[in-house]
Amino acid sequence: MRIIIGCDHGGYRLKLDIIKHLTERGIEVTDVGCDDEKSCDYPVYSAKVTEGITEGKADLGILVCGTGIGMCMSANKKSGIRAALCHDTFSAKATREHNDANILCLGARVIGPGLALMVVDTFVDTPFSQDERHIRRISMYS
Amino acid at position 101, single letter: A
Measuring CA to CA, which residue among 29, 58, 61, 59 is closest to residue 45? 61
Site string for ligand RB5, 70-109 (x = CB under 6 A): x---------------------------------------
Catalytic residue, candidates 34, 65, 72, 86: 65
Is the distance from CB of 45 to CB of 32 less than 8 angstroms? Answer: yes
Q: Least distance to ligand RB5 from the beta carbon of 42, Å?
A: 5
Among 69, 94, 115, 138, which residue sits at the site for ligand RB5 (rule: CB under 6 A)?
Answer: 69
Site string for ligand RB5, 31-50 (x = CB under 6 A): -----------x--------
The radius of gyration of the chain from alpha carbons, rounded to an integer in Å, stands at 14
Is the distance from CB of 26 to CB of 1 less than 8 angstroms? Answer: no
Q: Which stretch binds ligand RB5 (CB under 6 A): 17-25, 46-54, 66-74, 97-105?
A: 66-74
40 is catalytic: no
Alpha-carbon span 121 to 79, nearest angstrom: 25
- Catalytic residue numbers? 65, 98
